[in-house]
A = this chain, B = another copy of it.
Amino acid sequence: MSTAGIILIGDEILSGKVRDENALFLVGELRGLGVHLRKIVVIPDVLDEISTTVASCAAAFDHVFTSGGVGPTHDDLTMEGVARAFGAKVIRHPELEALLRGYYGERLQERNLRMADVPDGAHFVQGDATPGWPVVAMRNVYILPGVPELFRRKFQSIKEQFRDGPFHLRQVFTTSEEGHIAHELDRIVAAYAAVQVGSYPTFSSPDYKVKVTIEGKDAEAVRAACDDLVRALGQSVLRVE
């Protein structure tokens, strides 16, 4: 099962100027792809924090996706941060420089060329859907722009390479309180190592008290664990979805 981490880089989310759309989008996409998202981190435009966060996530997860900090201004530090995370320098990439010169033409400012600066050793990931500007990746770190429309388009252009086996999910709705079913959940967790069991009480639902989720990549194990739990909870089970 492949794992992933998301790093959102930008003061604007932490200060409440902008509401995150990119992590929210990626949570759904990764789920659909069968990738196990293990962490989301939101950090400010601070070089040290970018490099240490990228380094730890790149070591811990199969895939890491960064959002933001890739423009030409002083607060765009992602390329430098990712480079430092791997002990690399930032270099000006001739292929990206040519793309920028073609795009801006006479309007080109020297500062625009900062967008051709990438970590030394970076590779390009070019999806079929978006000819032109590639996604820049350093090892297992995919560097995406913060602008939601661009973030979504770029991720969708490269997403198929991350596809893994699907998740299987069953949800059991019960009228029992968590304290009453906790020992049965413990038993299920111990007996079915291949499934993850979640317990979510509600205080606003008109009918059920707790929703138990059972999920995993092994459809047969999910089915068996769910059937076992439903038998054990008996008449307190309202429905299974």
Binding site for B on A (CB under 8 A): 11-19, 24, 27-28, 31, 37-45, 49, 71-76, 104, 107-109, 111-112, 114, 147, 149-150, 167, 177-183, 185-186, 189, 196-201, 203-204, 213, 215
Contacts and interface: CB of A to CB of B under 8 A. Distances in A.
25 contacts: A12-B198, A14-B39, A15-B167, A16-B27, A17-B198, A17-B200, A38-B43, A39-B41, A39-B42, A39-B43, A39-B49, A40-B41, A71-B201, A73-B178, A73-B199, A74-B186, A74-B189, A75-B198, A76-B199, A107-B177, A111-B178, A111-B182, A111-B183, A147-B201, A149-B204
A199 B24 contact: no
Describe A's contact surface by its main secondary structure: mixed
Contacts of A178: 71-73, 111
A44 B107 CA distance: 48
Question: Which residue, of A42, A73, A198, has the highest number of chain B Cβ atoms within 10 A?
Answer: A73
Given A71-B178, A74-B189, A11 B198 contact: yes
A15 B37 contact: yes
Contacts of A147: 201, 203
A8 to B, nearest CB: 8
Given A74-B185, A186-B74, A112 B179 contact: yes
Contact of A14 (B37, B104, B182, B204): B37
Contact of A199 (B40, B71, B200, B213): B71
Given A185-B73, A199-B75, A13 B42 contact: no
Given A75-B198, A178-B72, A199-B73, A213 B44 contact: no
A37 B167 CA distance: 34
Contacts of A45: 198
A41 B74 CA distance: 25
Contacts of A197: 74-75
Given A40-B42, A71-B178, 20 more contacts: A11-B196, A11-B198, A12-B198, A12-B200, A13-B40, A14-B38, A15-B37, A15-B167, A16-B31, A17-B213, A19-B24, A38-B44, A41-B41, A74-B186, A74-B197, A75-B199, A108-B179, A109-B182, A112-B179, A149-B204
